Structure 1
């Protein structure tokens, strides 16, 4: 906590979702306490883990091509129109921070319910892949991965120490080391 205060509390844009209300939102929160409240049901939720976020994805292909589109971290892959490889997303951004399109190519990922891909070369892995493109989510749930309900500890400090332990860690003094001013 002392390190965080000395360096300045930093924030990050994180994704939250409420499965009960079928709501998904992004919020800028402190990195040491990524918690947000659903505006509909007023329940508190922890942020979705970074390796499970979905939304506007940045893909970096092995051929050096960088492109963007909708995707989910570590789950869906999108086709590179330069070389044909299918990289996983490297970054997920909120939909409001989208890049302008560089080409007129359609969305094409390896999820089974992707409307942009009609070919039969879909990956059938152990995880059920869902296309996160808004066009494919019509009539379906917006929530791909639900946020965990936040369990409050009652404190914003991650580890609570009593005052004696805190003082002894900062000042390693003993009674004999204290000088007395006798006049």
Structure 2
């Protein structure tokens, strides 16, 4: 029995230790390149006097759609646009020139469209946010062209045509 204990002790002494060497280090967040995560985002919200609204959010080539009436919502979900659709949509958004427009105001009688554009960058790195309101009674051709294209895309992918 003593031989067995002695053999076991020798075997343990000869074995390398388990694990590895752990080195404590500090990560410098400024040195880590995580890629561009602060991209463009556009929100289109159509508010009608009848207490219903359509919400569309565009981030890159992704479009999220939701419809709400009173206290209920129908989240139609996200779609991925083709490159051609993405280019056309952002061209229509840029045609509105949201950063250089007056903020406008909510038209509670006719309803209004709330447009919000988030651009990357800014002084603090969180991006620049531009928010405007346009009455639904508008004849703004750029807004009407954008709204029509958003309706077309929603109908194509979700089989439902929004009534902005």
Please, what TM-score do these two structures have when normalized by structure 1? 0.20
Q: Which has the higher helix share?
A: 2
| Structure possessing the higher radius of gyration over alpha carbons | 2
TM-score normalised according to structure 2 size: 0.21
